[in-house]
Amino acid sequence: MNLRRLIYLSAKPSTEIRQYFEERDWDVKVVRSSKDAKKAADDAEAAGGLLDLAAGLPSHEIEALETGLSMPNVGWVAIVSPGQLGDATLRHLVRDYCSDYVTVPFIPKGWAELLDMHTEWLSYLDRHGKISYIRLPKAR
């Protein structure tokens, strides 16, 4: 079994989301702060990341996210609530640090494939010494 790392940053992690990815051979690390996300990413060659903004994060954590989301070995996808991207701070985080986002409610079908693609790409770049040059595309 080849487990891939998934860092799930959420104030209120969903058991359903966690189980979905674990059933698809992801090593899910649930964290509640960007500091903990960095620790979870430190020992991973490459990882997928779920940033659950829809669950709400304390304001002090939102301010600290920029540093945590800039880890070059993690490709982030955000989960947002309808209208949440109207907030300039959250829109900035999603646009500049996430390669994609979904709006709740959502069905995670296809998410494993999306995160797997990001993880494989990061792993390839790391093996070829190009990890420091990663610039993920802006979110829509």
| Enclosing domain of residue 14 | 4-133
* Residue 140, pLDDT score: 41
Q: Is residue 44 part of a domain?
A: yes
Q: Are 7 and 31 in contact (CB under 8 A)?
A: yes
DSSP-derived letter for residue 85 is G
- Residue of 32, 30, 5 whose CA lies nearest to 17: 30
Q: Is residue 49 part of a domain?
A: yes
* Residue 136, pLDDT score: 42
Q: Is residue 63 part of a domain?
A: yes
* Residue 135, pLDDT score: 42
CA atoms within 13 A on the CB side of 101: 26
Q: Is residue 22 part of a domain?
A: yes
**Residues in the chain with pLDDT values less than 70:** 1-2, 106-140
* Residue 20, pLDDT score: 84
- The CATH number of whichever domain residue 14 belongs to comes to 3.40.50.2300
Domain count, the chain: 1
Q: Is residue 126 part of a domain?
A: yes
Q: Is residue 140 part of a domain?
A: no
Q: Is residue 139 part of a domain?
A: no
